[in-house]
Amino acid sequence: MRNNRLDVFHSLHCLNYIRMYLDKDYYAAHLEHHDSFLKNSSHIPDDWGQVHLHHCLDQVVQSVTCHADLSPVPMYGWKGVPVFLGVGQTHTCRRWEPIREWMDARNEVYEPLGEE
pLDDT band at 11 (very low <50, low <70, confident <90, very high): very high
Distance separating alpha carbons of residues 29 and 34, to the nearest angstrom: 9
The answer to whether the beta carbons of residues 57 and 49 sit under 8 Å apart is no
Q: Averaged over 17-30, what is the pLDDT?
A: 84
Query: What Å distances lie between residue 108 and 4, 5, 9, 57, CA to CA?
Result: 10, 10, 14, 26
Distance separating alpha carbons of residues 84 and 70, to the nearest angstrom: 18
Query: What Å distances lie between residue 39 and 19, 33, 46, 86, CA to CA?
Result: 21, 10, 7, 40
So what's the pLDDT on residue 59? Answer: 95
CA pseudo-torsion sign 99, 102, 16, 54: negative
Query: What Å distances lie between residue 41 and 30, 54, 77, CA to CA?
Result: 19, 20, 49
So what's the pLDDT on residue 91? Answer: 77
Select the more confidently predicted residue: 100 or 108.
100
Domain boundaries, the chain: 3-108
Q: What is the pTM of this model?
A: 0.67
Distance separating alpha carbons of residues 93 and 37, to the nearest angstrom: 36
Tell me the per-residue pLDDT of 38-47, one tens digit each, with 9 for 90 and over. 555 656 666 7
